[in-house]
Structure 1
Amino acid sequence: MKKKTWMILSVCGALAIGGFVWGNLSPNQAEANAPTLQEKVSYANESYDAQKKIADAPGATTADEQKLKELASKAGDLEAELSPQSALDEFNEVFAGYKDLYAIESAHYADQQDSEDPAVQRVLEELEQKGKLIAQFEKQAQSQALSKSADGESLLDQFMAATSKLNQELYPEQYKYESK
């Protein structure tokens, strides 16, 4: 082949390869216009604030209030996606809820310690076992925090398994149909 032919083939090849590389480097136009997660969170919060003004205004309808709830939920979901909760934080939240429920129930039955009613005595025994479970997991959570181990997921799994087992022991009538 002649020198001119090689030059033409080289230029065409270089242009083809360059076009291919350029096409793969430039982002898809649809993706380029898509908002980032931070922008979505910002927009959801702005929409919530605007809807809050509408819902708080005199003459607001239930539809306005429902829209406000939906926007609050969406904003919360996006915020959670933007900064996900660690497994240890999730355990702490679930555990705190369990302890709160225990405290409420304990306060309700606090003045009935001397009751002769078998139903009350059963609840008091249940509360005692739940208290032991709480104490056990408080110790585990403290030891895990001291060891700087951030494996909250396994701690949460252990807690959920232990509460499930305790509930099966305390309320076998609710679980008898599941085992068949």
Structure 2
Amino acid sequence: MPERNIDFGKFGARGIKGSDAVARKLDELADGIVTPVTAKRGLMARLHYLTRTDHSRQAARDAGLTVSDRTLKAWLDEKRRPSSANLERIDAAYRQVRRHNVARHLLRRLNSAGGTRVEIHPLNQSQVPRPLQRLVEYRTMNVRRWDRIVETWASGDHQGLDDAWADVIVDLGSQWGQYEYVTNIGFAA
């Protein structure tokens, strides 16, 4: 892509990659358990989600939760408490399995009725010297095909998501490169 930013923030601009903002919003839409994994309630909810069926157990193993069935049973019976490293693995496995489980539902909702309206809030240039500031304004666009974006998000492919998002923002016209980094991207499903 010709307008990819190579040295973002050199003059003080602040923001995040648009694809990261999209991933953050999709995570927000897919998030189910809000209690932290360090709390008993959050841990138990995640363990029940990851162990209720043979399919979810296999998905948890594939996501990196590789403990024995005996250890899992001890955690569920509250006879033992997972280490902090295992708490992180449980949370990461939960997020990955949850993404996979809700991806199809999110995709259907985002693609329905001709797509979803997306609000793009430009990067923050308040720290950039006045002569170097660009005129970048708030934009909206309708994204009609979310298939590749949701697929790469669900699989955890950050580079693929970045490429998929870049293909979408090209529809903004000749100044699409100004929206590679943003302060926020908003949409609802």
More strand by share: 2
TM-score, structure 2 length as denominator? 0.31
Name which one, 1 or 2, has greater alpha-carbon Rg: 1
Greater RCO (CA < 8 Å, at least 6 residues apart): 2
TM-score, structure 1 length as denominator? 0.32
